Amino acid sequence: MSQIAFMKKFLSTAYSEFLFNLGTLILRLTTGILVCLNHGIPKITHFNEWKGTFYNLAHIGTQLSLILSISAEVFASMFLILGLFSRFAALLLVIDLGVAVFIYHSSHPISRFEDAITFFVISLFVLLVGPGKYSVDGLTGR
């Protein structure tokens, strides 16, 4: 491929279906793995320490708020990784991460919650466009 042909293709706004689906797979996998391992699993391992001090969402109690957050960050992340019930899993993550970004961290410097913003945006992306072809949902035709 000549340099001119490469530059035309590189600067093109067209996209290939294969690369779009590969991109959604990469976003789902990395987000699901990182949210689960770095946020969900620590909440499980520190459950007894945090159950009394976790953010009390809508006055439902700190323990129930922690359980809901664990549900999203562990179980919904696993579904996102698999691409199974992807939009529902992404919705749970959007809600969980939206609380973190727009409520809990709202008074903190943005550098303390950049990862939550990134995961929120990626979850919103999956919610809007779906999991892509390389997912359980894609393989079953959902």
Burial of 83 (0-12, 13-18, 19+ CB in 10 A): buried
pLDDT at 65: 96
In a domain, 9, yes or no: no
d(CA 24, CA 44): 28
pLDDT at 6: 81
User: What is the residue range of 43's domain?
Assistant: 16-140
User: How do residues 86-132 score in pLDDT, each as one tens digit?
Assistant: 999 999 999 999 999 999 999 999 999 999 999 999 999 999 999 99
In a domain, 6, yes or no: no
pLDDT at 12: 82
In a domain, 25, yes or no: yes
In a domain, 65, yes or no: yes
In a domain, 3, yes or no: no
Alpha-carbon distances, residue 119 vs 30, 33, 50, 94, 125 (angstroms): 10, 11, 22, 8, 10
User: How do residues 50-68 score in pLDDT, each as one tens digit?
Assistant: 999 999 989 999 999 999 9
66: CB partners within 8 A, 6+ apart: 43, 47, 50, 51, 54
26 or 3, higher pLDDT: 26
pLDDT at 127: 97
93: CB partners within 8 A, 6+ apart: 31, 35, 72, 73, 76, 77, 80, 119, 120, 123
In a domain, 1, yes or no: no
The number of distinct structural domains making up the chain is 1
Given a cut of 90, whether residue 48 has pLDDT beyond it is yes
Residue 44: CA count within 13 A, CB half-sphere: 12
In a domain, 24, yes or no: yes
- pLDDT band at 35; cut points 50, 70, 90: very high
In a domain, 75, yes or no: yes
pLDDT at 2: 79
- pLDDT band at 21; cut points 50, 70, 90: very high
d(CA 28, CA 124): 11
pLDDT at 1: 64
d(CA 63, CA 142): 35
